[in-house]
Amino acid sequence: MAKDKKGYLLWKKSIKVIPGGNGLLSKRPERYAGEYWPTYFEKALGINLFDLSGNKWKDFAQMGLGCAILGYNNAEVNRYVSKFINKGINTTLNCPEEYILAKKLVKLNSFAKYVKFSRTGGEAMAIAVRIARAKTSTTSLAFSGYHGWHDWYIASNLQNRNNLDEQLLPGLKTNGVPKELIKTAFPFKYNSLSSLKKVLKLNRNIKIIIIEGARKSLLKQEIVEYLNYLKKNKNFVIIVDEITSGLRTSCSGAFKKTKLNPNIVVYGKALGNGFAINAIVGDEIMDCAQDTFISSSFHTERVGFVAAIKTLEILERDKIWINLDLKGKFLLKGINKIAKKYDIKIQTNDFFPLPSYDFNYKDQNSAYHTFFIQEFLKKGYLTSGSIYLSSKHTKKEIEKYLFHFDKITFKLKKILEKNEDIKKYLKIPIIDTGFKRLT
Amino acid sequence: MAKDKKGYLLWKKSIKVIPGGNGLLSKRPERYAGEYWPTYFEKALGINLFDLSGNKWKDFAQMGLGCAILGYNNAEVNRYVSKFINKGINTTLNCPEEYILAKKLVKLNSFAKYVKFSRTGGEAMAIAVRIARAKTSTTSLAFSGYHGWHDWYIASNLQNRNNLDEQLLPGLKTNGVPKELIKTAFPFKYNSLSSLKKVLKLNRNIKIIIIEGARKSLLKQEIVEYLNYLKKNKNFVIIVDEITSGLRTSCSGAFKKTKLNPNIVVYGKALGNGFAINAIVGDEIMDCAQDTFISSSFHTERVGFVAAIKTLEILERDKIWINLDLKGKFLLKGINKIAKKYDIKIQTNDFFPLPSYDFNYKDQNSAYHTFFIQEFLKKGYLTSGSIYLSSKHTKKEIEKYLFHFDKITFKLKKILEKNEDIKKYLKIPIIDTGFKRLT
């Protein structure tokens, strides 16, 4: 297993000056293969990463948590961004690209009238929530899915510290979140109409619902219809978080495929192909932003806007999403075929532009994932249960990945047949998908 | 008066798709000269801006709200940023520059042990507050100054809608801020020890104090000593917002000049010379970030880190702050001399790296400011009551500015002598420095 000693040493130093070692949980090596995970990159191109020791890795893992939808280091986006950097990016006056991008996003989202921008997904969701609360003059909200670190969301765990466990990250602590916000944010199960109805029945004052456009699947029709009903007949404000799912099924969000009629849709990650930019796209209720105060210097910085303008242009021109869908299907079909061949219980999702798989065993799922990560590292691949496809994941590359997937599944099969403990075969600690303090 | 029709038409279109027209109150033309303010820039260099019609403007106003401390479009910073853009900026792995910048900031701030990053000042302050609340297990806090749009701050106006009026922006509405947060954020007057003491006496549960490192002046010694006492003997957490004042008196914050011992210092704006990057720099209490959840994809994006690394390198190498101080003194001395010469009541501040002036008349101050903005526009200058100096504001440029300042003050003098209404001489509406809905 190629091992990047330089990167590992740097990580050891980094956790001494940055709490947790970095600013994003999902980029911490402990979630993959600890010291065997390269942890740092020096250079990236297409789907390839080069670590600090010069080792090359193919990314069949998260592609910058889905940011790099056009592949790493996309020359067209870079050229466009550099052009504007050399004109100046942040002055006393505004840059026209803020308007141009807003106009474009309104055009791409037929329900929309107004757009606001921010620089992180968490902040974008906090802006959407502020506007919804301003509109409804209420605080309480129902939500499903993962929506970042801000108070409105983590407050959910004040009432019950396991409230968020089924959303994405188990074990999120509420330290530092005002206790005053207890009983203001109520989770429901993704795609469960009965769960949503139960929450609304128990909390009659809720007028705001926040969901993800897609997680493992698209939204079910019954839940879409109910949300549309609540919006149309009960004055609910519906916010769709498309930070992860957006721009993967069209130049809009996954919500569009399901005929959901939201008030606000939030984009991020892929929007600027990695450059920091988020957009809050909404109907006339966005006008409430003028009756509250939301303002920030860096909300007006030029780089994010121009990266997004060019990314959207390429997405639209090349209709990237059609290929993401086809490639996702192809990849998952391949995985299912291999699983069947070796009789390994693997469950795949059906949101094809963001394929994912899980093992379906009682206690061993994390161990099997760890085994796959370890064996893929030996082949020069970064991988994880979710594979954020990009335009640079060619069919040929997917075939190669499946070739290795086959070999590794066969290895696992042999281990299971011998009734051996998988841990015997693991050089790396079993991955931890929750949230815990790093020491 | 050169007028950018293109820009004005664009602004009219922009307010139809972006609530308020843009993402930052301080970049709205209504705060300067309405349709006579150029509003948009196409290109910027040094202290010069070029609007959409090709008119050139010298910036003796806000230099991107203080972001462009090394001047617009700084070639050294741009080259460095572009180099990294062409290596890839946001991948599944971490970029080493997050660590390098953290390490550098710890070195530049001797009290500090840990650093976290974000992409907007408001979010950076929200992170600092989360950590302080996690440390103290309390919600309530006392603050002075302006600290952004997030709930913790605007909540102050829930109790009294004028609470924030004396901080920076009067009239901030609380729509959309949870009513549950009432009586959690208590303002005190900047640099007023008695005001701070009064707030603490009335709210015995406060354990967190948030101040600006400098606004019009540095912190007074008596307030510094009291804050140091509270931290040392009463377990208070002291947060200093250096987003505006930082990096202008040294490669650290203004707090350092006053011997304040904070727990957390927040940098932004100038840190990346305009590229979006903020840093939360703190002592061991930052470790509490690990017992709460603060995580964001774009907190780990490379552009901000490399822009800040290069900006700090230049600031340190060229000791920019020495010149900012000298130039600020020179500018204010010039303004005071002119004021005396024409017997116009002008009050200047004494935080020299960020010189500012106000008129000192009962009701006419905004009208006189408007007159100055208008007359300076005729000479090809953007100006405002605060002049964010940069390394590109040469002594010669300041002399030219003062030359015009003299002529304009003379004009005002003549108007006052004739006892005429200043409004007769204003083609533009009187500036509005508060917060109001744009239509």
Contact across the interface for A90 and B275, Cβ inside 8 Å: yes
Give me the mean pLDDT over the A326-352 stretch.
97
User: Which of A297, A386, A392 is the best mutation test for B, with the most CBs of B within 10 A?
Assistant: A297
Residue predicted with more confidence, B382 or B433: B382
Distance separating alpha carbons of residues A84 and A308, to the nearest angstrom: 13
Mean pLDDT taken over chain B: 95
Judged against a pLDDT cut of 90, whether residue B374 lies above it is answered with yes
Give me the mean pLDDT over the A264-277 stretch.
98
Residue B320 banded pLDDT, cuts 50, 70, 90: very high
Q: Please state, as a whole number, how many other Cβ atoms lie within 10 Å of the Cβ of residue B314.
A: 17
pLDDT digits (tens, 9 = 90+) for B56-74: 999 999 999 999 999 999 9
What residues form DSSP beta bridges with A51?
A: none
The Cα of A63 is separated from the nearest Cα of chain B by a number of Å equal to: 5
Residue B420 banded pLDDT, cuts 50, 70, 90: very high
pTM above 0.80, yes or no: yes
Q: Smallest Cβ distance to A274: which of B45, B90, B176?
A: B90
User: Which of B297, B299, B435, B438 is the best mutation test for A, with the most CBs of A within 10 A?
Assistant: B297
**Chain A hits for B293, Cβ within 8 Å:** 25, 149, 154, 169, 172-173, 435
Tokens of A108: 């791409």
Residue A432 banded pLDDT, cuts 50, 70, 90: confident
Q: Cβ distance A92 to B382 under 8 Å?
A: yes
Helix (H, G, I), strand (E, B) or coil at A260: coil
**Chain A hits for B286, Cβ within 8 Å:** 19
> Which among A37, A47, A82, A43 is positioned nearest to A68, based on CA atoms?
A47
Distance separating alpha carbons of residues A83 and B82, to the nearest angstrom: 10
Judged against a pLDDT cut of 80, whether residue B435 lies above it is answered with no
Distance separating alpha carbons of residues A173 and A163, to the nearest angstrom: 11
Tokens of A317: 């021109």
Contact across the interface for B288 and A176, Cβ inside 8 Å: yes
Contact across the interface for A42 and B134, Cβ inside 8 Å: no
- The pLDDT of residue B439 is 43
Q: A with B: how many residue pairs have Cβ under 8 Å apart?
A: 399
Judged against a pLDDT cut of 80, whether residue B170 lies above it is answered with no
Q: Cβ distance A249 to A108 under 8 Å?
A: no
Q: Smallest Cβ distance to A18: which of B63, B116, B278?
A: B116
The Cα of A6 is separated from the nearest Cα of chain B by a number of Å equal to: 11
Displacement of CA B331 from its chain's centroid (Å): 19
Judged against a pLDDT cut of 60, whether residue A436 lies above it is answered with no
Give me the mean pLDDT over the A168-184 stretch.
90
Pairing assessment for the beta strands A48-50 and A43-45 based on DSSP bridges: antiparallel
Contact across the interface for A23 and B49, Cβ inside 8 Å: no
Give me the mean pLDDT over the A342-356 stretch.
96
Q: Which residue of A lies nearest to B39 if distances are taken between CA atoms?
A: A93
Contact across the interface for B88 and A45, Cβ inside 8 Å: yes
Q: For residue A34, what is the DSSP state?
A: G
Q: Smallest Cβ distance to A90: which of B11, B51, B274?
A: B274
- The pLDDT of residue A309 is 98
Judged against a pLDDT cut of 60, whether residue B246 lies above it is answered with yes
- The pLDDT of residue A439 is 44
Contact across the interface for B121 and A175, Cβ inside 8 Å: no
Dihedral pair phi/psi, residue B294, rounded to 5°:
-135, 110
pLDDT digits (tens, 9 = 90+) for A46-95: 999 999 999 999 999 999 999 999 999 999 999 999 999 999 999 999 99
- The pLDDT of residue B437 is 53
**Chain A hits for B173, Cβ within 8 Å:** 291-293
Tokens of B299: 């907190």
> Which among A145, A135, A138, A95 is positioned nearest to A114, based on CA atoms?
A135
Q: What is the CA radius of gyration of chain B?
A: 22
The Cα of A248 is separated from the nearest Cα of chain B by a number of Å equal to: 18
Q: Which residue of A lies nearest to B181 if distances are taken between CA atoms?
A: A180
pLDDT digits (tens, 9 = 90+) for B265-284: 999 999 999 999 999 999 99
Q: How far apart are the first and last CA of chain A?
A: 25
The Cα of B343 is separated from the nearest Cα of chain A by a number of Å equal to: 31
Q: What is the DSSP string of B357-426?
A: EEE--SS-HHHHHHHHHHHHHHTTEEE-SB----TT--HHHHHHHHHHHHHHHHHHHHHHHTT--GGGG-
Q: Which residues contact B11 (CB under 8 A, 6 or more apart)?
A: A94, B21, B29, B39, B40
Pairing assessment for the beta strands B48-50 and B357-359 based on DSSP bridges: unpaired
The Cα of B432 is separated from the nearest Cα of chain A by a number of Å equal to: 16
Give me the mean pLDDT over the A310-332 stretch.
97
Residue A111 banded pLDDT, cuts 50, 70, 90: very high
**Chain B hits for A6, Cβ within 8 Å:** none
The Cα of A418 is separated from the nearest Cα of chain B by a number of Å equal to: 35
Give me the mean pLDDT over the A207-224 stretch.
96
Mean pLDDT taken over chain A: 95
**Chain B hits for A152, Cβ within 8 Å:** 151, 178
- The pLDDT of residue A438 is 46
Contact across the interface for B23 and A300, Cβ inside 8 Å: yes
Position B1, amino acid: M
**Chain B hits for A286, Cβ within 8 Å:** 19
Contact across the interface for A293 and B133, Cβ inside 8 Å: no
Judged against a pLDDT cut of 60, whether residue A196 lies above it is answered with yes
Helix (H, G, I), strand (E, B) or coil at A230: helix
Q: Cβ distance A254 to A214 under 8 Å?
A: yes
Judged against a pLDDT cut of 90, whether residue B362 lies above it is answered with no
pLDDT digits (tens, 9 = 90+) for B323-349: 999 999 999 999 999 999 999 999 999
Query: Helix and strand tally (H, E) in chain A?
Result: 12, 13
